[in-house]
Amino acid sequence: MTNFLSDYYLWIKALHIMAVISWMAGLFYLPRLFVYHVERAQPGDQLDQTFQVMEFKLLKVIMGPASVATWLFGLLLMLTPGIVDWGAVWPYTKAVGVIAMTGFHHWLMACRKSFEQGDNQLTGRQYRMMNEVPTLLMALIVLSVVVKF
């Protein structure tokens, strides 16, 4: 298995990067959809239903598969011999960032459910503030991997 991972390292890395880009696009866009949803639609109206379809498809068709692919290819990279220096701090800061990003994704799933059930409690301002979370986590992850602090 280790020869396979070493032989296909660049392919795995490329697939990981593509998956991350797709996942991040959704993580940036979905909270923005929630802002428009809460500020412009009323529970049960046609616009509410339109936003719900958009949010559902973004989560299930793009973000879900992209997050799974990100994790899969990331774990393969982690298992590739010579790639991760386990004596350094950066693999652990990256892991914290990725786990937090996954938690944020699951929080977004719960928010979508609250819209579906008609009991969203958050405001557009709160969703705008939460829209900054993936940016902060992305900075932590990228700096961990590139700078390797």
User: Which single residue is written with the structure tokens 């009991």?
Assistant: 119
In 27-113, beta strands by DSSP E: none
Residue 76's pLDDT is 97
What residue numbers bound the domain in which 14 lies? 2-147
> Do 120 and 38 touch, CB atoms closer than 8 A?
yes
Residue 149's pLDDT is 82
Q: How far is CA 143 from the centre of its chain?
A: 17
Segments of the chain scoring below 50 in pLDDT:
none
Number of domains in the chain: 1
